Amino acid sequence: MERLRRLAINDARIAEDHDRGTGVESDVLDPKTLALVRLAALVAVDGAVPSYGAQADEAVSAGATAAEIVDVLVGVLPIVGLARAVAAAPKVALALGYDTDDIEPQFTG
């Protein structure tokens, strides 16, 4: 509750803690879940490719599978919309080491 209170009152120490690299890890979420949440946030804010790479590495190091990382894209669809998830898909693919040149659209009709 203290962290929530500090965020709610715009306590500058939260940003200072972040800048020093302290206080930004979760007290409750395990590292894998935290990395997946951060990937979801990158989708929401249209994050840069290097950010996806770093966060995907964190997620995999914490035990996440490629399927779980892709499920993050599917999971945020109702919130961020299809266009944002589609825009993030190549970034996620690159972060997971897939060659995006090999990805061809498949249309059903």
Averaged pLDDT in 10-residue chunks for the chain of 109 residues: 76 65 64 94 95 94 96 95 94 89 62
Task: Classify residue 28 by burial, with Cβ atoms within 10 Å: 0-12, 13-18, 19+.
Answer: exposed
Q: Using only C-alpha atoms, what is the Rg of the chain?
A: 16
Q: Return the domain boundaries, the chain.
A: 28-100
Listed residue (81, 36, 23, 102) closest to 63, CA to CA: 36
**Token pair recorded at residue 6:** 């500090």
Q: How many CB atoms lie within 10 A of CB 54?
A: 16
Q: What is the pLDDT of residue 56?
A: 95
Could you tell me the two tokens for 62?
A: 């914490």
